[in-house]
Amino acid sequence: MKKILLSAVALMAFGVAAQAQDISFGAKAGVNFANLGGDAETSGSRTGLHIGALAEFKLTEQFAIQPELLYSMQGAKEEDFGEEYDTNLDYLNIPIMAKYYITENLTVEAGPQIGFLMSAESDGEDIKDGMNSMDFGINGGVGYQLPMGLFFQARYYAGLSNTYDGEGSDDFKMPNNVFQLSVGYKF
C-alpha cells in the first residue's frame, strides 16, 4: 500500500512539473500546536516545531501546486486515570498543496498529506510499536508572500487515519490535529 501511494504521489508530482510555467524552491519553519482527536483523552496540546523544504509549480497566474517535505513535532498532553503525560509523535510529512492566488500575494491552499512516523514516546518510554507508521489527512490554510520571497502561512491539518495501532485500535481512534504557523523564503 505504501509503495502504491508513494508511486501515485511521484507520478502526480512529475506530471505537474511538466506542466509548470514557473518553478520556485524554498524552505520554511514554524510552530505546531498539535493535539490528538477522537477517543483520546487529552488535557492540552503539544507545542513543537516543523522545518523543511518546498517547491512551487505555478501552472497559471492564479493556480499552483506546492509539494513539501517537513519534519514535524506532533502529539498531545494526555490524561489517564488522573495522571497527565506527554505523548510525542515526530513525523516526516509530505503535504501536496493546491494553491489559489486570490491576489498577487495572498493565497488559499488545500491538499492531502501523508506522514511517516519517525519516533513516538510517552514520558520517555518508546511507544512506536503501538502506533501506526503512516498518517494521512487533509490540510487547509492561507498564505501571504512578500515580493522579496519571504512568506507566511497559517494551516490546519485534520488527520483522517488512526495514530494508535495497538490492542483495540478498531474501537479507539486517535487522529492527529495540528495548527501550524510558518515563515519561509522562496528563491
Q: Determine the Cα–Cα distance for residues 113 and 30; give it in Å rounded to an integer.
A: 17
Neighbour-count burial for 56-92, b at 16+ CB within 10 Å, e otherwise: bbbeeeeebbbbbebebbbbbbbeeeeeeeebbbbbe
Report the SS3 class of residue 175: coil
Model confidence at 15, pLDDT cuts 50, 70, 90, reads low
Q: Determine the Cα–Cα distance for residues 169 and 59; give it in Å rounded to an integer.
A: 42
Confidence check: pLDDT of 1 > 80: no
> Which residue has better confidence, 96 or 5?
96
Q: Is 31 in contact with 37 (CB distance < 8 Å)?
A: no
Q: What is the pLDDT of residues 79-92, one digit of tens each?
A: 777 788 899 999 99
Confidence check: pLDDT of 13 > 70: no
Average pLDDT over residues 76-80: 83
Q: What is the pLDDT of residues 94-117, one digit of tens each?
A: 999 999 999 999 999 999 999 999
pLDDT number for residue 80: 74
- With a pLDDT cut of 70, the percent of the chain lying above it is 89
Distance of CA 53 to the CA centre of its chain: 13
Q: Is 16 left (phi over 0), alpha (psi -120 to 50) or beta?
A: alpha
Model confidence at 121, pLDDT cuts 50, 70, 90, reads very high
Average pLDDT over residues 32-53: 92
Q: Is 86 in contact with 59 (CB distance < 8 Å)?
A: no
Q: Tell which residue, 132, 105, 117, has the closest CA to residue 74.
A: 117
pLDDT number for residue 7: 56
Q: Is 36 in contact with 174 (CB distance < 8 Å)?
A: yes
CB atoms within 10 A of CB 24: 16
Q: Determine the Cα–Cα distance for residues 133 and 116; give it in Å rounded to an integer.
A: 6
**Which residue type, as a one-letter code, is found at position 111?**
G
Please give the CATH number for the structural domain made up of 2-186: 2.40.160.20
